[in-house]
Amino acid sequence: MALIEVKNLSKTFKKPIRGNGLLSMIKTLFSRKYENIEAVKDVSFSIEQGEIVGYIGANGAGKSTTIKMMCGILFPTEGEIIIDQKSVLKHRKEINQEIGVVFGQKTQLWWDIPLIETFKILKAIYSVSDEDYKERFNYLSELLDLKSFMNQNVRSLSLGQRMRADFAASLIHNPKILYLDEPTIGLDVLVKDKIRKAIKELNHHYNTTVILTTHDMKDIEELCNRIIIIDKGSILYDGNLEDIKFQFGNIKNIVFPRFEGFDENKIKEFNDKINIEVDENIKLSFSLNDVNMDALLLMLIGEYKINDFKIFDIGIEEITKELYAKNEETKK
Amino acid sequence: MKYIKLYFQYAKLSIMSKLSYKSNTIIGIAAFLFTEITSILTLFIIVSQVPSLEGWNMYQIGLLYGITNLAIGLDHLFTDKLWNVAYFEVRSGTMDSLFLRPIPVLFQTIALEIQLEALGEILTAIFLIIFCSCNLSLIVTFESVLLLVVGIIGAALLITSFKIIIASMAFAFKRTGPFLQIVYNFSNYSKYPLTIFPKIIRFAFTFLIPLGLCVFFPVTNLFNPSSIGINPYLLVAIIIVVTAIILTLAILIWSKFAKRYESTGS
Amino acid sequence: MLKMKKLKNSLSKYIPFFHAGLKSTLAYKSQIYGWMIIGVIEILFIFFLYQAIYRNAPEGMNSVINGLTFYEMILYGATSFIFGNAISSETGWNIYVEVRDGTVVNTLTKPVSYRIRHLFTCFGQAFFQVFFIALPLLVILYGIFIGCGFVQFEPLQFILNIVFFLIFLLLAILINDSIGYLIGMLTFYTQHMFGLNMFISSIKTFLSGTMVPLSYMGVFGVIFSYLPFAFLASTPILILMGKMELLMIFIYLTIAIGYLILLEFINHLLFKHCIKKIVVQGG
């Protein structure tokens, strides 16, 4: 039995229709019209203990709505969520003991008092035993480097410090599942790195199941062995990151600075399945299934004396874009 | 037991937070103190126009006013967060974090804030009670004091209960703050001798919103025991039973409505 | 003529702020029903309390206490409640929010007067509060009281009263907004609004004669009637009720305008000082 099972989940919001004009504002005093917005449509998936799953999609795709329903603070219009064989709606309190949540933009820390106090009260709230608390507290403050600001007021912490603290706070009761909603939003590269390392380490150490939403594709590429892509409330893709890359034909990109005397036709002569984009840089993208990359590189070096180039895989961003496009096409 | 310990931990953090903004807290307490002083002055100015109001002299009215305000102040001190629930917390979805914890949301809502500003109300109320008592010859017996103490606590719990009920409705209707304000304004009536109001309002304060039962009769008992026409001990029992019933009802209604709490979308 | 056109042009850039104030009031007054019920409760309460007072006065319900009969007292209470809501201004809160969020700095970069901007927002609010709520309610209230013969007015005299009342209503809006602006400026120093606002509100309520007419306060009442707060309730209401001599009206008019100029002068100095503070501290 999977740890989390989401079955045919749908959520429809009623949104009042509001006009802008003065007259329509006076009208809303007396009556209101609503429109229905389907934020999540018939979503199903299951997640095993210990997985790290990236839940991605554009703004308003329905990510946060799904996560909130999985936490039990938003009710599905249809469908159900079962965690540890318990329905989330019926056993909210028991489920709460099993989950930790970090919403990137809202902190759960007590704002005006030293950080350490938040941990103390969370210990009491979750009835964590003294030994467990000690073990985890030391582990987490080591892992996330919290010691130096443990006695500072939360409101005086930097965003990065606060995020790390929030992250630790959501783990002090050793939840089976950790939901991270945009955990790296607005952070600088170093802090992002630290948080990613911590997520990996933690998943390894406690076998915590992690579900994260993000806009940062590096988060996904470094952390997730599985991704679920959602768009306009429906799942577009659910599976392995490598698989989807393969599905998109092992696409590679080669980029080098533009120079005088570059001739597109020569490349086309070499292989007409290479896609060429020219702006400040020249970008060649192609599938390994069609093109022999070694030969191409040799040609580029031999013919043009290029020695300053970069090779990289297709990004998840491009995949998502392609998926959206494909989805639109099939709709038509 | 766990919850009592937890309550004190919450309370400690709340007071620590308040004290980290010392000047704000002091301004807040002073503001309530000052507001209370002006409304007491207003009361005295109005009442001093006539020798007595339906048989109540100025000090008796002051005593009743002080006792009622003490109850209101106690409720204010301990359960102020309920206002926020009724006004904006449900609407803005900021209650999410409470619903993510494995302890009752009502407990957290109440424990989260000790509103020190209420000290302004409580201090003026105590001062007014002492001042008026000194100018009255009160009948102080064990039973009259017991009745008064039970009445004050009962009244505070009743106010809390009504606040809980109206705040909990915000879970379904998003915003019930103005409605809470209405009940609050209405309960201001109970600061005055019930006898000045028409029968219907007297009835409401004895049976519907039994604040009068908790305050008016115990205070009357301090100087005119024969007029209340009921054994003080029996009255104590009635207050306890009525308060317990309404409080239980309030908690039940809260847990019923809290099940409907939803975060905001996106 | 050219000057007029110039003035019109320079004022037209404040029209959006007028609209903003109007709209925010509309959004807020969507709880208008709640507000009405609170109003009814307050007025009923005033009614019962004063009924008891007059009942217990030496000459019963026909007593005249401090120059007011029972019905006049009720009329005074109801008018003061409606009046208080008509002149209410959010300027203090608006400035506080801008100070708190730091957006106040933006005002330095725009060719718009900070004071006039907030004044127009206040006008937007007042427009709705006065024309859509207060005046209709007052017409109904006085219609009932005059129609039922509870109070009597000489028609010509009453029209004159109304004219003066409207002038004092405008002055009350301006003075109240100036006080609000002053409190807003103070939040530059205190960073705190709730307590400060409550403080000023209770001073206003007490000293303006909103809860109890100043004539109840003996010699203090006479002193209070010369303070700026009296113009926020007592003076305009007494004028409308025909309780004031023409000479006194003109004296009060002069005093009110004097206070308004004084307040605006203080506000001007405070604003200059605050701006300096922002520039020096870098927001």
Mean pLDDT, residues C125-144 taken together: 92
Please check whether residue A282 is in contact with residue A276, taking contact to mean a CB–CB distance below 8 angstroms: yes
Residue of C nearest to B21 (CA): C192
Q: In chain A, which residues have their Cβ closer than 8 Å to the Cβ of B103?
A: 93, 125
pLDDT (0 to 100) of residue A106: 81
Q: Does B10 touch chain A (CB under 8 A)?
A: yes
Separate counts of helices (H) and strands (E) for chain B: 13, 0
pLDDT band (50, 70, 90) for residue C14: confident
* Number of A–B residue contacts, CB under 8 Å: 73
Rounded-to-integer distance, Cα B151 and Cα B212, Å: 9
Please check whether residue A90 is in contact with residue A6, taking contact to mean a CB–CB distance below 8 angstroms: no
In chain A, % of residues over pLDDT 70: 93
CA distance B42 to chain C (A): 7
Using alpha carbons only, what angle is made at residue B34 by residues B31 and B39, rounded to the nearest 5 degrees? 125
Closest partner residue to A73 (CB to CB) among B5, B96, B103 is B96
A211-249 as b/e: b if 16+ CB within 10 A: bbbbebbebbbebbebbbbbbbbbbbbbeebeebbeeee
Whether residues A74 and B266 touch (CB distance < 8 A) is answered with no
pTM of the model: 0.84
What stretch(es) of chain A map to CATH 3.30.70?
249-313
In-domain check, residue B265? no
* Number of A–C residue contacts, CB under 8 Å: 13
Q: Does C32 touch chain A (CB under 8 A)?
A: yes
Rounded-to-integer distance, Cα C22 and Cα A198, Å: 51
Mean pLDDT, residues C243-254 taken together: 95
Residue of A nearest to C27 (CA): A25
Q: How far is CA C18 from CA A155, C120, C166, in A?
A: 37, 5, 20
In-domain check, residue B17? no
Give the architecture (CATH level 2) of A4-245.
3-Layer(aba) Sandwich (3.40)
Structural tokens at position C56: 């217990």
Q: State the first-to-last Cα distance of chain A, in angstroms, to the nearest integer.
A: 38
Q: Which pLDDT tens digit goes with each residue over A189-242?
A: 888 998 999 999 999 999 999 999 988 878 888 899 899 998 888 898 899 888
The answer to whether residue C69 scores a pLDDT higher than 90 is yes
Question: Total structural domains in chain B?
Answer: 1
Whether residues B23 and C190 touch (CB distance < 8 A) is answered with yes
Rounded-to-integer distance, Cα B265 and Cα A57, Å: 16
Q: Which pLDDT tens digit goes with each residue over A129-152?
A: 999 999 999 999 999 999 999 999
The answer to whether residue B197 scores a pLDDT higher than 70 is yes
| Boundaries of domain holding B130 | 2-12+25-258
Whether residues C202 and B31 touch (CB distance < 8 A) is answered with yes
pLDDT (0 to 100) of residue A23: 65
Task: Strands of chain A (E only): list them.
Answer: 4-16, 34-47, 52-56, 78-83, 86-87, 99-103, 177-181, 209-213, 226-231, 234-240, 251-257, 275-278, 281-287, 310-313
CATH of domain A249-313: 3.30.70
Q: Which pLDDT tens digit goes with each residue over B223-259?
A: 888 888 889 999 999 999 999 999 999 999 999 998 8
The answer to whether residue C145 scores a pLDDT higher than 90 is yes
Please check whether residue A147 is in contact with residue A141, taking contact to mean a CB–CB distance below 8 angstroms: yes
Q: Which of A136-140, A316-320, B53-57, B197-201 has the lowest mean pLDDT?
A: A316-320
Mean pLDDT, all residues of chain C = 88
Q: Which pLDDT tens digit goes with each residue over A254-299?
A: 888 887 777 788 888 888 888 888 888 888 888 887 888 888 888 8
Q: Is C51 helix (H, G, I), strand (E, B) or coil?
A: helix
Whether residues A39 and B17 touch (CB distance < 8 A) is answered with no
Mutation site, C32, C35, C80, C212, interface B, largest B CB count within 10 A = C212
The answer to whether residue B36 scores a pLDDT higher than 90 is yes
pLDDT band (50, 70, 90) for residue C283: very low
What stretch(es) of chain A map to CATH 3.40.50.300?
4-245
pLDDT (0 to 100) of residue C282: 47
CA distance C210 to chain A (A): 29
Q: Does C27 touch chain A (CB under 8 A)?
A: yes
Whether residues C29 and A29 touch (CB distance < 8 A) is answered with yes
Chains touching chain B through at least 3 C-beta pairs below 8 angstroms are A, C
Query: Which of C278, C53, C91 shows the shortest CA–CA distance to C180?
Result: C91
ipTM for the assembly: 0.85
Q: In chain C, which residues have their Cβ closer than 8 Å to the Cβ of A22?
A: 19, 22-23, 26
The answer for residues whose C-beta is within 8 angstroms of residue A112's C-beta and 6 or more apart is A153, A154, A155, B16, B17, B20, B21
In-domain check, residue B263? no
The answer to whether residue A56 scores a pLDDT higher than 70 is yes
Closest partner residue to B27 (CB to CB) among C38, C196, C211 is C196
Rounded-to-integer distance, Cα B99 and Cα B85, Å: 13
In-domain check, residue B229? yes
Residue of C nearest to B179 (CA): C34
Query: Which amino acid does the sequence have at C76?
Result: Y
pLDDT band (50, 70, 90) for residue C12: confident
In-domain check, residue B264? no
